[in-house]
Chains A and B, each alone.
Chain A
Amino acid sequence: MRRMLSTWVRPALLYGLVAFFVIWTLAPVIWIATMSVQPEINYVSVPPHLSLNDFSLRWYTEMLSQADVAAALKNSVITSVATMACCLVFGSLAAYALARLKFPRRNLFLGASVISRMIPSMVLIIPMFLIMRWLNLRDTYAALIIVYSTFLLPYVIWMLKNFFDQIPVALESAARMDGCTRLGALFRVMIPAAAPGVVATAVFAFIGAWNEFLFGLILSTREVTPITVKLSGLVSSTFHSDTSLVAATGMLAILPVVALVIILNRYIVRGLVEGVKY
């Protein structure tokens, strides 16, 4: 009896839980996706009346044809890619130094980068606003890229350092004997050898920049408004005509990162776990 129970109870419980977590994870995404391809009237009615016949992508095309939404997407792409590039370049230099070179006060820098991960952005937002105004950088890509890079670099450096630590020192020595300078060995051998980790770090930096909101809200007025800020404006504006448009914008805001997660899943999982280690 007991054995019989366990032969079907266990899988039933397991698959039940799997179903729960899949629904829990996907329901909000699927719901907003549904809203973004249906006219508002269909889901406002009680009960919702969803119909394949009404399926349309026109809310996407309409949003994309609106100058400010298209610009916000472009802004997000530019700042995120540039932030990722900055993080990778500066981050790999610093991570290499921390992983391989002995220099005085190395631990001071390590400590400072750990502490800087703990500083909440709310502490920095007012001074950052004033500094950027003083530097005349408000509402420029440079401001956002600088701020995002500064925030993400401590994480990026730790992740990269952990990946570099796993590469045998001899590999780098071999490259230097073969004719590379130190930096040559870093870029031609260490980074390619740590490629999965570097990819994970790059994705991490990109997503971090793409999803940022607070600094985008405060440091941009019009020209460089990122998609997150644009979306929040649409949601709270009291007289938007069509919720489907907001839903479509929400989808546009997550599509790039969702694509990254699905394509680079394995790297990301490893990178996340690695980023926690000290």
Chain B
Amino acid sequence: MIRIFSILAGLAFSFVLALSFVFEAVGTAKDGLPNTVESNFHEHPGALKLASDGLFGKFDKQQLQRGFAVYQGVCQNCHSLKFVAFRDLKALGYDDDEVKAIAKQYQVPAYNAATGEVKTQPGKPTDHFPPVVYGGKGAPPDLSLITKSRHGGAAYVHSLLLGYQNQPAELLKKFPDAKTPEGLFYNPYFANLNIAMPPPLTADGQVTYAPGNPPATKEQMAQDVSAFLVWTAEPNLAERHQKGWPVVLFLLLATVLAYMAKRNVWADKH
């Protein structure tokens, strides 16, 4: 009885699925597979090698400082960094006084609970980077987690920063409606190809690096700020790699011993 019922139920589901399949197949035969401008022209980020990559990866503090300079010089006009506190910058190699000096450059909101007044005051090391007021087109995302919140991570940021170009003629020929709207910029690394952010890195030497650093070419700045944003997204990354090795090696050793113990226990049973 239960099996007759089950066969009927199975056939019912299969019938409705088969019906759905036939409709989908007819629709696909008529319209073809989805062929959008994104599926044709969206590009995956190119390779980017950073010191923080790989199982032994740790941060290159010098590069993080350069990346921070790029953030300060370019990105922070529009993008906030709300999950990062000034005190965190010590991980970049700044000492207490330098961190205090950096914090002072920023005006952070200060709420007076007694009077209800909201004012701003110079930042202290315990403060986070303040919100950024932006009045233009689009909604610049907070950058704290940007390398974790995009497919491709740091490589995506790097490719996006350098990926601005004119719309290919081929694209306009195939998709005449897909012309980049006024005020947006064509960038094949961006999900829908048209980004509101104007090209941020416009010229070599746009940011002044401290002496002893490589020249601030566009490529160098893009790499450095990508490395910096890996750090802002995950300040504990290097510690995680470093702690992982003893844990995994200990477990490997314990597993080998457990295997030998198991062989020993089972010796008379095979």
* A interacts with B: no
Residues of B within 8 A of A (CB): none
Residues of A within 8 A of B (CB): none
